[in-house]
């Protein structure tokens, strides 16, 4: 982080290291080394990438203490792309077994969409699970269908100003999706803007005003 942060002005900055496999490798190695020192294990060396030996003995399996709903709630609250992709990769192992791969997850999800969203399956394409790839595509109408099926889990989304809402942002892409709440009723809404200027907050305000004014 010190190396990548050189040249930035004083203050708080968010640095995405995933754009470079070399940065990911260095970060993983330095993190592992920090845990090593924390437990009093000495050692030095450089970070290198090697293929995992096929006869390597499994020495530890970690099971999360959190239920899936708690993991998803935290993922939604903090827009955690790492968690999203870990869940996505795990889905592929449900039918095709470990090790997890992008190809297995893509195959699993395509089958799931064809079965559960036959009318809109062709309106949804995906490259990975977090939404940061520009190869991911979904129409607003298809997203409404997803939200309608997700309605019983609406409480997993962040709750703000009388609505359950999740934002999505890429360069020149601004989105909101969620539910307006009226008593026990949850009504799905989607805003997807492909434009340079971000007007999603204004559009959301107008959309909610119309919703609240409706009988």
Q: Tell me which residue has tokens 């119309």.
A: 210
Spatial separation of the C-alpha atoms in residues 22 and 24, rounded to whole Å: 5
In this predicted structure, what is the pLDDT of residue 14? 77
| Residue 179 φ/ψ, nearest 5 degrees | -140, 130
User: Which pTM does this prediction carry?
Assistant: 0.79
Q: Each residue of 69-119: pLDDT tens digit?
A: 999 999 999 999 999 999 999 999 989 998 899 999 999 999 999 999 999
Residue 53: CB atoms within 10 Å: 7
**DSSP per-residue letters across 80-94:** -HHHHHHHHHHHHHH
């Amino acid at each position: 982080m010190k190396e990548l942060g050189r040249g930035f002005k004083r203050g708080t900055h968010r640095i995405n290291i995933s754009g470079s496999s070399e940065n990911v490798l260095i970060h993983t190695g330095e993190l592992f080394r920090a845990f090593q020192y924390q437990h009093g294990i000495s050692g030095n060396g450089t970070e290198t990438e090697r293929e995992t030996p096929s006869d390597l003995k499994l020495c530890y399996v970690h099971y999360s203490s959190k239920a899936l709903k708690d993991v998803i709630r935290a993922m939604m609250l903090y827009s955690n792309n790492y968690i999203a992709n870990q869940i996505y990769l795990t889905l592929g192992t449900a039918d095709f077994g470990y090790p997890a791969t992008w190809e297995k997850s893509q195959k699993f999800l395509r089958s799931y969409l064809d079965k559960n969203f036959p009318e809109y399956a062709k309106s949804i394409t995906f490259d990975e699970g977090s939404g940061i790839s520009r190869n991911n595509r979904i129409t607003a109408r298809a997203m409404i269908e997803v939200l309608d099926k997700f309605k019983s889990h609406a409480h997993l989304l962040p709750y703000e100003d009388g609505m359950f809402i999740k934002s999505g942002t890429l360069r020149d892409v601004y989105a909101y999706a969620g539910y307006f709440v009226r008593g026990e009723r949850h009504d799905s809404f989607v805003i997807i803007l492909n434009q340079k200027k971000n007007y999603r907050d204004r559009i959301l305000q107008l959309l909610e005003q119309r919703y609240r004014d409706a009988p």
